[in-house]
Structure 1
Amino acid sequence: MTRFRNKHSARNGWRLRPEKLLHAMRCGVLRAACCAVYLHCCWSSLASFAQEPVSPTTPKVSRLILVVGAPGTDEYAQQFKQWAEQWLKFANEAALDVTPIGLAGATESATGSDKQALQQAIDQNADAAGPLWIVLLGHGTASRNIAKFNLVGEDVSSSELAAWLKPKTSELVVVNCSSASASFLTDLSGPGRVIVTATRSGSESNYARFGKYLSESLSNLQADIDHDQEVSLLEAFLMATSQTERFYEQDARLTTEHALLDDNGDRHGVTGDFYQGIRPVKVPKQGQAVDGLQASRAILYSSPDAPQFTPELAGKRAELERQLDSLRSQKTQLSEAEYFEQLEALLLELAHLYDLAEG
């Protein structure tokens, strides 16, 4: 089952472990500085829809609808096939419940239409508990404020997909790797949802390469920015956006795609340059909170070296992280002595949990 949980992270990609922070705190001079860095840099909040953890060596996605669209040419067909194979490998290692659409050997709907097959797959999962992932690999178009993902046969629009998903109230992740896909973010955004698109506007209509780099980041520990031996969706997104930008720079091309991530339901989304490491360093123009918190909880892959938290320990850790978040929000209301006293108590408990998980 998918585990959505928080990853303590710090600037520039390093991770500050509780016991190391406590040692610095007890040095006196470093106490305030270390605690300020810790609380400023970490995403400290309990996932409101946290699921029971599974084996730490297993990618953690419960159900996946994988859609490969109309390629148009043999060259694109081969590329989309390679991307899909990465997702299928990822799914196979996790023993996921996968519904492939548009792939060789995929089960067709009663009508033989990929669009109908997609709608049926969504309907079948509308009432299911736990996270549902929908991944769209292919081309897209946008015209007159209508964005579509190109399927074999009739295309599916962002508004149609939004209508099909409206009854879905549990966790939802939609990744649209097609060109001109930005409207899928605005139409699908909502509470408890993580939406990723390959472009930030409908006018970015050239072939999008973001899907290639995202598929290569799924189980790649090189994407583990905070070095905690796990790869989150946020980290995979940031690695993919960085590699996409690098492709255009090295090929001396104008960048024609800018991927977006939205997970706070504000229908705006942010690009990868909002982050340094996995710490947000920009503020959206609209004044909303920076996206990325829920995506940082969606753990795609854990290495064998990652701490192995039992469900009981994971629950205790989540509660401590919630208390840390609450304490941070009350910082201005407490004296310095009260703040650091409460902070140290929480960090001691958190360090003890990590000792148990690693023991």
Structure 2
Amino acid sequence: MDTETLRQKIEQLTGNKAEIKQFGRQKSASLFGAGSDAAERSIGYEESFWIPLFESEGRITALGIERAELSDMNLQLAEFAAQSYSAAMKASGFKEEGENEARQLSAWLNAQLEQDEHDGEIPDDIGLKSRLFTDMVPFLLVSENMHGNELAFRSLLKLVRSYFDSTALLVPLQEKEWLILARKELLTGSEEKDEDEATDDEELLAQACMGLHELIASEWVGIFHVSVSSSIAPVKGLPGIIALLRETISLGRVFQVGEYIHLPWELQLERLVNSIPDGRRRQLLAQFGDYTPILADKEMLTTLETFFEMDCNVSETAKKLYIHRNTLLYRLDKIKHETGADVRSFGDAAIVKLTMLLYKVTKRK
């Protein structure tokens, strides 16, 4: 049983809100004292009772239960459950390395995102802060659905570190959502790169996403989405990066149906279209003309999507679709005949591309 499972069981047992929190060294000493008895007695602090679970490098991780309407009997039961958990951990010699620090960081990140604060610096009392000054690559992993048991922190952390290395960090954010931070050097190299090599970095990050997704999907049955951003020093601005990756996955679910790797630099136009109010989107669709017969035709829609993916190159599109070049030209001529738009010209191609995106997002409203 991990601390999150313990927290959930205590909430069910008492009917009161519970949380797991790691206190900094100074706060741990002032609340729980020092020495061998530091993590052995419950205390009242602010609006909760805090039951210590274990100590690590002077920091106490404790279970907090709201005081409001908490009966003495329920408090005693919660203390017994927490002490049994603590004793089991000591007996096994196991330390939940990183989990409580990760959940402490998670609580701060979620609070910043709820307040729409994206540029904040991680506070000094967050245990992981000292590890977040170097450049790291942030990944966001989201489970759309899973069959069977939920992912346990330790199981997922073990898998993530088998893919990257032992320095990789895992931060559970919301339910079925995890932030992964990996050393930049593992993915893009440590040397300085010219601006012309930015595309190479994007390709490496895309490959890392695909590898991570394949590993997770092969281990657990379910649908997983992965996104990644360029490297940052996570100590400052991390909430903004998480917001970007969340938005990227949300856009990917709408505009890249059937795909599970969603990259911010590939969804820039989609991000713009998504920001247009729904009423204005429908006005634009009406102004551009009726493309419904083409966009509702799966074969034609796939042809257009591939044509734009291949930068409007006829030969490359035909190869990608496994059709003869003349077959593709026939389809493009059919689109021109039915809509009046020749997608081989830049202006018409831009309008059709925009119409496709507007159609996708308004169709799902």
TM-score range, shorter chain: under 0.3
TM value normalised by structure 2: 0.27
Choose between structure 1 and 2: higher helix proportion. 2
